[in-house]
């Protein structure tokens, strides 16, 4: 047996090289399709979440008072504050008052179904800072969607 016996003929070498190149192209295409699918799913999920939050409804509360004034203040934690005061039907969920204020100010707002404020005007919750809310100066642990506000109440939403 000589060393030349282990070397495939030239035609066979070309076929093996072509097969290897086809496999490389196939792997490249498979990986490209996988990452493309991941990107499409991520973008679709983000769009769905944005649409879902925009159509989210608040629980209805029994209306006892005709109209009352509520003050909503949004503190961005960097010295910037926005305050809104207006007449609203009462009682009303604090989340509804915040949504009315954000619409009046032309600000984007995201509240989860659990009632956590996650984003106001592109300021999102982070690991070290988040949106907290206060009713009449007291920190609230209740969902912003569950707490009713009435005449004279002050809602503060603060990024801290």
Number of domains into which the chain is organized: 2
Range of the domain at 42: 3-54
d(CA 37, CA 49): 18
**Are 93 and 113 members of one domain?**
yes
What phi, psi does 70 have (nearest 5°)? -130, 140
**Are 43 and 95 members of one domain?**
no
**Are 35 and 81 members of one domain?**
no
Could you tell me the pTM of the whole model? Answer: 0.61
Does 60 fall in a domain?
A: no
d(CA 76, CA 158): 6
Q: What is the pLDDT along the chain (160 residues), one digit of tens a residue?
A: 555 556 555 566 666 566 566 677 777 888 889 998 888 887 777 777 766 666 655 555 555 555 678 899 999 999 999 999 988 776 788 998 999 899 999 999 999 888 889 999 999 999 999 999 999 999 999 999 888 888 889 999 999 9
């Amino acid at each position: 047996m000589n060393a030349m016996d282990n070397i495939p003929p030239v035609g066979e070498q070309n076929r093996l090289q072509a097969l290897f190149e086809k496999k490389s192209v196939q792997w490249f295409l498979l990986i490209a399709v996988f990452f493309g699918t991941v990107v499409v799913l991520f973008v679709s999920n983000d769009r769905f979440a944005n649409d879902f939050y925009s159509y989210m409804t608040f629980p209805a509360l029994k209306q006892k008072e005709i109209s009352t004034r509520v003050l909503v203040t949004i503190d961005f934690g960097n010295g910037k504050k926005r305050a809104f005061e207006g007449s609203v039907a009462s009682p009303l969920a604090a989340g509804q008052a915040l949504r009315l204020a954000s619409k009046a100010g032309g600000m984007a707002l995201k509240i989860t179904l659990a009632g956590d404020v996650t984003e106001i005007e592109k300021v999102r919750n982070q690991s070290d800072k988040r949106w907290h809310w206060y009713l009449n100066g007291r920190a609230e642990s209740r969902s912003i969607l569950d707490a009713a506000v009435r005449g004279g109440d002050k809602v503060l939403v603060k990024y801290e």
